[in-house]
Structure 1
Amino acid sequence: MRHHPTHELMTVFASGELPASLSIAVAAHLELCHDCQTLADRITQQAAQQEFTTPSSTPSQQDHEDDFADMIAQITQDDALLDTLFDTTETAEQTIEFKGQHYTLPRALQSLVLQKPQKLGKLTRSRIDLQEGSLKTSLLHIEPGGSVPMHTHRGFELTLLLDGEFEDEMGKYQKGDFIWLTGEHEHTPTTTTGCLCFTVSNDALQFTQGISKLLNPIGQFIY
């Protein structure tokens, strides 16, 4: 894959400050991308070192740190206690079906509740209500041979390609690609074999060609 979250976005993700929808998207990408997973681990370790490393400690602080270290040592030596702290039971993979094809979802998406699918031509969208105001989150399925009409974006549009492939005027995309677009971009996503995407946007699409431009007046209600 060639498209990944920026270092800045990864840093905010590691700090736990991203909205839920974007945090889920980054976490799902990390499951699919070993390089970004390694980078996220490094960013997290650096943040932890910066947070907990101080030039000097007062006696009371040092006592507290020693007590904390002793507690951690005791926990790691007690397998029974570890079992109560960390559930290592593997959960069954969750799949979703669109037009007779089954897709396995990343773990980061498996607890999300999908709303009733909405279908338009070869496009099917299932909303995910995370109650984030203007941020709209969905699973978008495009059938083989399908496309989204030429459009730009009034805000940003994040697309995480979960399965399949698609291409547009800027290139070809494969499973795991993390694509962040804004009003600077105009494109027509098209897929030959079909694809499933996790999408997040904060404003309506702006269709720019053909009869689809008729949807722009009500775009605020359908994005």
Structure 2
Amino acid sequence: MIKFHPSNQQLNTFSNGLMAPAESLIISAHCDMCIQCANKVVLYTEAHSETVFDESSQRLDPNLFGTMLSQITSQEIDRGAGSEPKNSTLELDGRKFTLPRSLNRFSESIGNWSHLVGKIWQAPVNIGGDTVANFIFMEKGGGVPEHTHRGTEMTLVVNGEFSDGLADYDSGDFMVMDGKNIHTPLTKSDEGCLVFSIVDAPLHFTSGWARLINPFSHLFFK
């Protein structure tokens, strides 16, 4: 069950086309997995379309918005018969993962898997711009050492579940971490966990041997 979503403000900005490309991509991928947020985006998009033709409408009436939101989130999105593109898959050691539709166009931009420390695997994704995107797979018992962030990290759980000392996350969950957060992602799932992560600055490790990497972390950022 999806418990962590983009904020209404983020979904509103996304639907209005005012969001940075990297953030827009990962939120779009979350909406591929989350009917609740996908329906909200439809609502916001319709509202923005209406205001184009009504310059006197500076903001949505809160009561009207609440009623519309209640109605639309109870409905399924009609994408049209036969309009669904086939989802791309990602493979690692015989495991196959179905990717959210929004990531389909980057399927040819995924690099080779590389084994990091412990039971962690990483595959870079070239999405352009100044951000760094990766698929990260944690085998059972695998995790990323305790760290905080020099910038912002956006993460979408594509398949599986993990915990980080702050919360428990499942497939479809979306989260944003920054310098105010210190966490230690770890999965105990037999199937492991695959996430899609976008960062705009290197991580900063805060515990144990991993702190030795910090002076050189910029070398691995791009």
Q: For the superposition of Structure 1 and Structure 2, which TM-score range results when normalised by the shorter chain?
A: 0.7 to 0.9
The runs of 5 or more residues in structure 1 that have no matched partner are: 56-85
Asked if 1:213 is matched to 2:211, the reply is yes
2 CA distance for matches of 1:18 and 1:138? 20
Does structure 2 retain, via aligned residues, the 8 Å contact 1:20–1:130?
Answer: no
Asked if 1:106 is matched to 2:77, the reply is no
Instruction: Provide closer, same or farther for how the CA distance between residues 39 and 153 of structure 1 changes in structure 2, counting only shifts above 3 A.
Output: same
Structure 2 match to 1:43: 44
Root mean square deviation, CA, Å: 1.7
1 CA distance for matches of 2:125 and 2:21? 11
Structure 1 match to 2:170: 174
Does structure 2 retain, via aligned residues, the 8 Å contact 1:136–1:202?
Answer: yes
Q: How does 1:1-223 map to 2 (within 5 A)?
A: 1-54=2-55, 88-112=82-106, 113-120=109-116, 121-133=118-130, 135-193=131-189, 194-223=192-221
Task: Please state which structure has a larger fraction of its residues in helix.
Answer: 1
2 CA distance for matches of 1:196 and 1:39? 26
1 CA distance for matches of 2:54 and 2:4? 34
The runs of 5 or more residues in structure 2 that have no matched partner are: 57-79
- TM (norm. structure 1) is 0.81
2 CA distance for matches of 1:190 and 1:105? 21
Residue-by-residue CA offset, 1:174-201 (whole Å, 9 max, x unaligned): 0010011110010100001211111111
- TM (norm. structure 2) is 0.81
Shift of 1:130: 2.1
Shift of 1:16: 1.5
1 CA distance for matches of 2:86 and 2:33? 18
Aligned length: 192
Structure 2 match to 1:65: none
Residue-by-residue CA offset, 1:75-132 (whole Å, 9 max, x unaligned): xxxxxxxxxxx99454333211123211111111111020222221321111111221
Shift of 1:17: 2.4
